[in-house]
Amino acid sequence: MKRRDYKKMKKKTSKARLAIKIGLLVSLTALLAIAAYGLSLRQQAEQAVDRAYEAVPATQKSEIRGEAKVEPAKDNVSVLLIGVDDSEARMQGDSHSRSDALVVATFNPEEKSVKMLSIPRDSYVYIPKVGYRDKITHAHAYGGTHAAIETVEEMLDIPIDYYVKMNFNAFIEVVDALGGVEVDVPYNRLEKDENDRNTIQLKKGLRVLDGRHALALARTRMADSDIERGKRQQMILQAIIKEMVSVKSITKYGDVIEAVGDNMKTDMTFKEMTSFWEYAKGGMPKIDSINLKGYDDWSKGPYYYQLDESDLQNVSQLLKAHLGLIPDSSSLTDSSNVIGTADETAEGSDDY
């Protein structure tokens, strides 16, 4: 080989090695950046959960668990989701607002399944805090989170292991941080916004809603009923979960954490909260939406939703079985209370 050719080949080899080194350096820098981003997100999330942490006194039903502390990653657990409007206009000087939404979710890690029950806000139930029956939405107003948990436990005869309480601001900002959620809007209708002004125009069909439109759809019950309202809330919650577990949303987690900020309260630690991500491994978990049967009742003067006692007992048994508190009864999973799963989709799409 001629000396000139040898030098030329050596020069090319050096350039190739330099390119490989640069490529490795870029890759390493990218990996370090991703790791730093992940660490930053974790620290940010941990700080947010620490700020949101608010324990509540133990309830009688919590004694069912005994002294053992449940672990969401391996135990069947229940979570009460409480949506409240704590704006000054709504609270009117009260220390607690009424709950605008109550959803009980039970988690079964072995089945990788979730059962989600919406409780109509006007359900006529016994409220232990005051010792008489009233609308369940009043429980939170009477005694805050603890009273709401006690009332739901009394009604369903199950322990509530954790709670998450969010206000309207958190809901709007979380949905916006995710870039909106895709849901099937059932009608064309002008709805009230978070300030009770008629500014939200909903359009029928499968659409990507921003936070304000999603909240309006979740809150309204003027076009149908409290039961349908509960179904819409579950649909929107499922859409949020679906968006959260998608790969494309990983870069949005920082914004979601920031959105929650001081607008959430929970008795879950950071470790307990992150353990729920086990349900997201491998894709969307199976989510069954459940409703409660009943009828409208004006006989006492104010409007109440009277629950069907037999149906309530069936739902209670279903949730107990899902939590592993009683032997499983598979026939109940086909009950007419189960109104759909997260796998159901609608045709046609449009955005706001």
Taking the alpha carbons at both ends of the chain, their separation in whole angstroms is 69
Question: In whole angstroms, what is the distance from residue 206 CA to residue 30 CA?
Answer: 38
Give how far the C-alpha of residue 326 lies from the chain's centroid of Cα atoms, to the nearest Å.
Answer: 26
Q: Tens of pLDDT along the chain (352 residues)?
A: 555 555 555 555 565 666 665 555 554 544 554 445 455 566 777 787 788 889 988 887 776 666 567 888 889 999 999 988 765 444 444 557 888 889 999 999 888 899 999 999 999 999 999 999 999 999 999 999 999 999 999 999 999 999 999 888 888 888 888 889 999 998 899 888 888 888 999 999 999 999 999 988 888 776 677 778 888 888 888 888 888 777 565 666 667 777 676 788 889 888 888 788 777 676 677 889 899 999 999 998 899 999 999 999 999 999 999 999 988 755 444 445 555 555 443 333 444 4
In degrees rounded to 5, what are phi and psi of residue 324?
Answer: 80, 20
Q: Do residues 338 and 290 make contact, with C-beta atoms less than 8 angstroms apart?
A: yes
Which pLDDT does position 243 carry in this prediction? 82
Which pLDDT does position 316 carry in this prediction? 96
DSSP 328-342: --GGGGGSTTEEEET
Which pLDDT does position 117 carry in this prediction? 93
Question: In whole angstroms, what is the distance from residue 320 CA to residue 337 CA?
Answer: 15
Question: Structure tokens of 95?
Answer: 């220390």
What are the angstrom distances between the C-alpha of 248 and each of 16, 94, 242, 252? 34, 42, 11, 8
Q: Which CATH architecture has domain 53-351?
A: 3-Layer(aba) Sandwich (3.40)
What are the angstrom distances between the C-alpha of 102 and each of 9, 105, 178, 298? 73, 10, 23, 22
- Which residues are CB-contacts of 304 (< 8 A; sequence separation ≥ 6)? 122, 123, 124, 135, 297, 298
Question: In whole angstroms, what is the distance from residue 72 CA to residue 105 CA?
Answer: 12
Q: 284, 337, 331, 333: which is closest to 310 by C-alpha?
A: 337
